[in-house]
Amino acid sequence: MKVKKACVRIIILLAIFCSDSQSKAQTFIWDAGFNGFFDNREYYHEFAKPQTLFGVRTYALAGATLHENYSIGIGLDALDEFGSKIRGEDICPIIFFRYQKDPLKFLFGSFHRKGLSILPYVLQADTIQYYKPTIEGMFLGFRKSCGFQNIWIDWISRQTDTDNEIFTIGGSGAYNHSIFFYKHDFIMTHVASTAKSESDEHIRDNGGFYARIGFCNLNKGFPDSLSLSTGYTMSYNRIRNVTGFLYRNGSLTEIYFEYQDIGLKSSLYFGDGQLLIGGDDLYSSPYYIRNDLFWMFFRRSNITGKLEISLHIVEHLINFSQSFQLSVNLGGTHKANSEIKNPTR
């Protein structure tokens, strides 16, 4: 019942907002679409459980530019995981303010993380797009032709008598020179106690960092894309008043190859088993090789389809996974006043 009431309120606000944007010197903006996924994981290692993830996320939002550099939006993002009942946490509100003027971008509110910050699997598992596609907080980015840097905060849980306070801070940066590049990513998660803290509750600090160097030959003949990178990754964990800081270190090498609609991504991790809360569980192993063979069977301006078969070698065990993903993204602008010449998207 609470979920239905929240949806009705969002729809009413959307209707009021859209009608109001047409009557003022604004540009109406909108977006809608869905992301379907079938992800079958045949894992035989203690670090990760075998499971099948099958469902679809759909979203719709509308907004308006307040100025050529300012815009606001409101909408909903909902998950329908097949075979499960829809829960309150499966429906995420989208409400944001955005400022964009090169080289800066700033967002405040609840907004999609895709296109802003997707971290490597060693720091953040790929299921983040299935179950937590939005950032609830702030994002600040700086981008020039030679590189970029961004930082964001995602408030995951507010402290109550029964819920822990949890937030995550992360970011990415890169510098490019000719075909060579340097890139880094980081994440930090803070887990505090509940409001009625018990003696056995302790604050947890957890985080990680990944830096690499490499080269990328993009759209310069055969193949269409080729990149190679190698670098250092680490994670840390501390439970206050229980343990000191525990550190884990390792090396990660990645190769990416793509020609027309076929591609291969391979990675080799070697080192200590990582300790990250939200990272891919298979990096908890001291030795992990991953090979992803994919086919982009749809690649249109608003439709993408991807079929992927993956081989995971974890220590002495061979694991498999297969995934199918289909995304449809719509969107556009409607000028309510011709004075607005550069709508912010």
Closest CA to 37 of 325, 336, 345, 231: 325
Helix H or strand E segment including 184: strand 180-191
Residue 326 falls inside a structural domain: yes
pLDDT reported for residue 221: 67
Rounded percentage of the chain residues whose pLDDT exceeds 70: 87
pLDDT at 49 over 80: yes
Residue 147 falls inside a structural domain: yes
Which residues, in sequence order, are CB contacts of 229 under 8 Å at separation 6+? Answer: 181, 183, 212, 213, 214, 215, 253, 254
Among 148-152, 235-239, 245-249, 298-302, the least confident range: 298-302
Residue 64 falls inside a structural domain: yes
Mean pLDDT on 137-160: 95
pLDDT tens column, 178-226:
999 999 999 999 999 888 877 678 899 999 999 999 999 876 667 889 9
Choose between 253 and 218: higher pLDDT.
253
Coil, helix or strand for 152?
A: strand
As a whole number of angstroms, the distance between CA 50 and CA 48 comes to: 7
Q: If pLDDT is split at 50, 70 and 90, which confidence band does 344 have?
A: very low
Rounded percentage of the chain residues whose pLDDT exceeds 90: 69
92: domain CATH number is 2.40.160
50 upstream amide cis, omega within 30 of 0: no
pLDDT reported for residue 25: 53
Q: Which residue's entry shows tokens 């009431």?
A: 5
Residue 344 falls inside a structural domain: no
Residue 65 falls inside a structural domain: yes
- Asked whether the beta carbons of 283 and 269 are under 8 A apart, the reply is yes
Residue 112 falls inside a structural domain: yes
Residue 345 falls inside a structural domain: no
Q: Which amino acid makes up residue 168?
A: T
Token pair in block for residue 6: 């929240």
Token pair in block for residue 43: 């894992």
pLDDT reported for residue 332: 65
Among 1-15, 200-214, 222-236, the least confident range: 1-15
pLDDT reported for residue 198: 73
Residue 282 falls inside a structural domain: yes
- Which residues constitute the domain of residue 45? 2-335
Enumerate helices (H) and strands (E) in the chain, giving the number of each: 2, 16
Among 73-77, 113-117, 247-251, 272-276, the least confident range: 113-117
Among 23-32, 41-50, 100-109, 286-295, the least confident range: 23-32
pLDDT at 12 over 80: no
Choose between 148 and 19: higher pLDDT.
148
Coil, helix or strand for 22?
A: helix
pLDDT reported for residue 88: 78
The total number of structural domains in the chain stands at: 1
Mean pLDDT of the chain: 88
pTM above 0.95, yes or no: no
Query: Strand 147-157 to strand 262-271: parallel, antiparallel, or no bridges (unpaired)?
Result: unpaired
pLDDT reported for residue 301: 84
Which residues, in sequence order, are CB contacts of 56 under 8 Å at separation 6+? Answer: 34, 35, 36, 37, 79, 80, 82
- Asked whether the beta carbons of 27 and 64 are under 8 A apart, the reply is yes
